[in-house]
Structure 1
């Protein structure tokens, strides 16, 4: 697996985890008494954060809301530099 394949696969994992969080958020909005769903929502947020952190530690920030990683600070991350995460 090439480095770009690894990066792309990790980015897909971030997107998948974010999708799960959004879907569970929508579900729990309409089913606030479903304690199992609320626990799944909490776990999904933790999992999504862990995958995002792993991606950003290796490849740089995904959004402007992300605190820049050590790597990004060391190399002087520039948002106008390509490739952007969605261009990989």
Structure 2
């Protein structure tokens, strides 16, 4: 089974949003009085969570800490059973 282009696009969006959260976290750590950056940080966290939920709803969990998606619960997701996310 191969990974579709749509899955790659969405996975890239997850990675981009995670990057934004990390960068804004670092910035707000060194600039604690920058209210606009803190607002951007909060918004980025919400968007990252939304994109991750979207990916996991369609393609399955990305990590052990992910809340199981409806799909994962219905099929009895097992981490030791292929295909793993990078094998699709």
TM-score, length of structure 1 as denominator length: 0.90
Whether 2:88 is the aligned partner of 1:84: answer no
Task: Using the TM superposition, give the Cα deviation of residue 83 of structure 1 relative to its aligned residue in structure 2, in angstroms.
Answer: 3.1
Q: What is the count of residue pairs matched by the alignment?
A: 87
Please, which moves more after superposition, 77-86 or 26-35?
Answer: 77-86
Q: Which runs of 4+ in 1 moved over 2 A?
A: 81-88
Kept after mapping to 2: 8 A contact 1:11/1:85: no
Alignment gaps of 5+ in structure 1: none
RMSD between superposed Cα atoms in Å: 1.6
Q: Cα deviations across residues 18-61 of structure 1 (Å, max 9, x unaligned)?
A: 00000000000000000000000000001000000000000111
**Pair 1:69-2:77 in alignment:** no
Q: Partner of 2:4: helix, strand, or coil?
A: helix
Give the gaps of 5 or more residues in structure 2.
none
SS of structure 2 residue aligned to 1:43: helix
SS in 2 for 1:77: coil
Are 1:51 and 2:51 counterparts? Answer: yes
